[in-house]
Amino acid sequence: MIYLFRIVSDEDQEFFRDVVAEGSDTFLELHQVVQNNMGYDACQLASFFITNDLWEKQQEITLIDMMQDPNLGTPTMDQVTLEEYLTEISQRMIYVFDFFAERAFYMELIEMTDQTSPKDTPFIAQAEGDAPPQLAFDRLMDDPQAPMEEMDPDDEDQEDLRLDDLDPDMFEDGMPEDY
């Protein structure tokens, strides 16, 4: 079974990707293709969430299992195939690519067919727009003088925080000297 997914971002209306995958492909293979296409570091934490029609998260599929309790049973991307969770057109997923800032892509299964693909799957069939940066703090690392973008630009009482403003003691082992 061949699946066609549409990936969109709420950060850029011009951005989308169409991905072709086999039902037998794993979520890890899908993750790697998306990461490679976007130029992301595939080792960063990420998760797929199977959702309902209202984009409410139902089932998480993680890159790595961080649960201490094996009875909780959160599947990892390398353990499950797409066809185990996606069985009908219009099914939706949220793909969290920036785990700590909770930034995500929205994926919808837009077509299914019994045909086989002449190319190795999964692959990006169509791409429009630039991918958003993977990690929100990447911008700070590129320019330590740049203000943090997470701040409210409408708040006039708020100061621009810069990496250079942080107490260097915070980065050393132990508690800062002030404590």
Can you give the residue ranges of every domain in the chain? 2-128, 138-171
Tokens of 161: 């925080």
**Strand, coil or helix: 139:** helix
Q: Which residue has the tokens 């690519």?
A: 97
Query: Which residues have CB under 8 Å from 1's CB, separation 6+?
Result: 22, 23, 83, 112, 113, 114
Q: Which residue has the tokens 């969290």?
A: 96
Q: Which fold has domain 2-128?
A: 3.10.290
pLDDT digits (tens, 9 = 90+) for 31-83: 999 999 999 987 788 999 999 999 999 999 999 877 655 666 789 999 999 99
pTM beyond 0.85: no
Check residue 122 and give left, alpha or beta (phi > 0: left; psi -120 to 50: alpha): beta
**Strand, coil or helix: 51:** strand
Please give the pLDDT value at position 150.
46
Burial of 24-48, coded b for 16+ CB within 10 Å and e otherwise, reads ebbbbbbbebbbeebebeeeeebbb
Q: How far is the C-alpha of 53 from the C-alpha of 90, rounded, in Å?
A: 8
Residue 139 has pLDDT above 50, yes or no: no
User: In the structure, what pLDDT confidence band is assigned to residue 11 with cuts at 50, 70 and 90?
Assistant: very high
